[in-house]
């Protein structure tokens, strides 16, 4: 009897799936084909799934600071800083209007420390929020567009720019994962793709490390270094900064970041309280050999006739 049952079970295992399912029940497409679908010969290994939400054009450091969906062309050096000013002014103004707490971080906080302005070599901006705030933004303001009105300093005309608040759907994940989604949200200029990176901080291990806040990119902060927040201004609008800003900056960039006066082709001018671009050195005068070569090149070749 046991032998007969074994043979029956073995036979059922090799029956087509369509004969085994209950009458009148149609399995979903992927399940119907799950047992027979296979990769064709020569197709090679399956491609790794692209899990990254935000994408950049890439190729150079500068191109890594545009959102690929709205990128048209690189913004020139003389124009990128005014565009960043509108980015941060609009962001800080809108968030304050919404009653949402956010504060300056990373290189943007360093720019605040020097003169309350964006450093001229920066191509993006960084701010932080709490994970609770991030969840609130994702639930209530994800993919919302915000108009910002300003006066063009060159022409005096009133102009309008539109920005997008885009929340990464992976923001709810506590761990770094594959590192493709460490940026939780962005404030994006729809006219050119420039953006502000927004990252959320949370107490990720309150049992073993109480009072330690961190983002997915392993930046850690003590509660007493963040709170109580300080009110200040940045690029002419009200801004919030962490309480122990000096400790945060020296831990991230080192003590030299607060005293070095030449960086990235710019020099700090204390009288102007401004980072000024160091001019390119003039080209050396041509040597005698260069002059002789130029004169030689001017001589026309001989007219050779057949």
Report which of 159, 97, 95, 158 is spatially closest to residue 129, judged by C-alpha positions: 95
The DSSP letter of residue 45 is S
For the ranges 51-60, 85-94, 107-116, which has the lowest average pLDDT?
A: 51-60
Query: CB 231: neighbour CB atoms within 10 A?
Result: 9
Percent helix, percent strand, percent coil in the chain, to nearest 5: 30, 20, 45
Report which of 246, 248, 266 is spatially closest to residue 81, judged by C-alpha positions: 266
Report which of 205, 119, 191, 197 is spatially closest to residue 165, judged by C-alpha positions: 197
How confident is the model at residue 179, as a pLDDT?
87
Distances (CA, A) of 226 to 7, 25, 87, 153: 70, 58, 24, 35
Point out which residues pair with 129 in neighbouring strands: 200
Residue found by looking up tokens 């005293």 in the block: 259
What pLDDT digit, counting tens, does each position of 192-244 carry? 999 999 999 999 888 999 999 999 988 999 999 999 999 999 999 999 999 99
What b/e readout covers 91-102, taking b as 16+ CB neighbours within 10 angstroms?
bbebbeebebeb
Helix, strand, or coil here: 77?
Answer: helix
How confident is the model at residue 21, as a pLDDT?
37
66-277 architecture in CATH?
2-Layer Sandwich (3.30)
Which pTM value belongs to this model? 0.77
Give the pLDDT mean for 13-42.
36
Answer whether 141's CB lies under 8 Å from 165's CB: yes
Point out which residues pair with 130 in neighbouring strands: 201
* Of 16 and 133, the one with more pLDDT: 133
- At residue 124 the predicted structure's pLDDT band, cuts being 50, 70 and 90, is confident
What is the percent of the chain with per-residue pLDDT over 90, rounded to a whole number?
66
How confident is the model at residue 108, as a pLDDT?
99
Helix, strand, or coil here: 148?
Answer: strand
Report which of 83, 118, 81 is spatially closest to residue 192, judged by C-alpha positions: 83
Answer whether 112's CB lies under 8 Å from 214's CB: no
DSSP 6-40: HHHHHHHHTS-HHHHSPTT----HHHHTTTT--PP
What are the residue ranges of helices labelled H in the chain?
A: 2-13, 17-20, 29-32, 77-98, 106-115, 131-140, 223-226, 245-253, 288-298
Q: Is the pLDDT of residue 305 over 90?
A: no
What is the percent of the chain with per-residue pLDDT over 70, rounded to a whole number?
77
The dihedrals phi and psi of 198, each to the nearest 5 degrees, come to -115, 120
Taken as a whole, the chain contains a residue count of 306
Query: CB 127: neighbour CB atoms within 10 A?
Result: 23
Q: Is the pLDDT of residue 59 over 60?
A: yes
């Amino acid at each position: 009897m046991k032998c007969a049952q074994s043979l029956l079970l073995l036979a059922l295992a090799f029956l087509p799936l369509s004969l085994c399912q209950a009458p009148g029940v149609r399995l979903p497409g992927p399940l119907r084909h799950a047992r027979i679908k296979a990769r064709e010969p020569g197709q090679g290994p399956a491609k790794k799934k692209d899990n990254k939400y935000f994408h950049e054009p890439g190729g150079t450091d500068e191109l890594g600071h545009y959102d690929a969906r709205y990128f048209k062309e690189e913004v020139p050096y003389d124009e990128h800083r005014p565009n960043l000013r509108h980015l941060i002014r609009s962001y800080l103004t809108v968030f304050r209007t919404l009653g949402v707490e956010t504060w300056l971080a990373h290189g943007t906080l360093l720019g605040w420390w020097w003169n309350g302005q964006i450093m001229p070599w920066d191509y993006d901006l960084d701010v932080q929020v709490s994970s609770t705030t991030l969840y609130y933004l994702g639930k209530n303001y994800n993919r919302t567009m915000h108009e910002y009105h300003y006066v063009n300093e060159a022409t005096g005309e009133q102009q309008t720019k539109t920005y997008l608040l885009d929340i990464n759907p992976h923001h709810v994940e506590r761990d770094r994962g594959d590192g493709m989604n460490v940026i939780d949200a962005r404030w994006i200029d729809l006219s050119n793709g420039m953006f502000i990176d927004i990252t959320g901080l949370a107490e990720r291990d309150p049992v073993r490390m109480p009072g330690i806040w961190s983002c997915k990119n392993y930046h850690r902060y003590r509660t007493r270094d963040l709170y109580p927040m300080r009110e200040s201004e940045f690029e002419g609008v009200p801004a919030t900064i962490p309480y122990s800003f000096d400790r945060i900056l020296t831990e991230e960039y080192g003590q030299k970041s607060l005293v070095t006066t030449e960086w990235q082709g710019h020099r700090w001018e204390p009288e102007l309280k401004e980072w000024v671009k160091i001019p390119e050195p003039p080209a050396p005068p041509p040597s005698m050999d260069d002059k002789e070569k130029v004169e030689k090149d001017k001589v026309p070749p001989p007219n050779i006739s057949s």
